[in-house]
Amino acid sequence: MYKIAKGLGRLALSLTIACAFGYGFYGLVTYAWPLSHDRLGEARASLVADETEVLLNGAAKAYDESILPNGKVDKARLAEASRVLEVELDKLISQSGRYRLLDKSKLTRVYFLLGKVYQRQEKFDKAIDAYENTLRLDPDHLPAKYNLEMLQMQGGGGDEGGSSPKKGQQPHKI
């Protein structure tokens, strides 16, 4: 019963997305439905696909799966996520350092996810830069504020210098 309800919930969400953005039935079947079920290759192949959204979902999935069942970090998954996000960042920002207003929310998501990836990779200065860029685009982004403040309190860059949390402390993450 639970699986049926969950499936109907996903279908309702996919249908809402498809209708809201005018994809119609084709968009629902070839883009929204596969995207909501982590079938990213299928979603990317759709004629109505937003490639950036598909890649962001893939990078987020790689980030989520980078913690193995034994608690260790899968560095290859994190490297994959950071590589994809860095490429998308280059695509969203022109060579003059400008971005399209329509891409602002995507750019915010890219910077925030990059911050989380860099933080997990223990590249704390890069994580701080990414969180600061997130906040430049969206000053009310609470998860970025929290992660940035936690890194700075633990000695990870900022005015306090340093490139890692104090010895014996693990950075908190959202």
Give the Å distances, CA to CA, from 156 to 79, 92, 123, 131, 170. 21, 28, 9, 12, 11
Q: How far apart are CA 73 and CA 82, in angstroms?
A: 14
Give which of 10, 12, 74, 1 is closest to 38, Cα–Cα.
Answer: 10
Q: How far apart are CA 163 and CA 119, in angstroms?
A: 11
The per-residue pLDDT for 7 is 59
For residue range 108-147, list pLDDT tens digits in order: 999 999 999 999 999 999 999 999 999 999 999 999 999 9
The per-residue pLDDT for 97 is 64
The per-residue pLDDT for 161 is 38
- Say how many Å lie between the first and final Cα of the chain, rounded: 32
pLDDT exceeding 70 applies to what percent of the chain? 62
Distance of CA 36 to the CA centre of its chain: 15
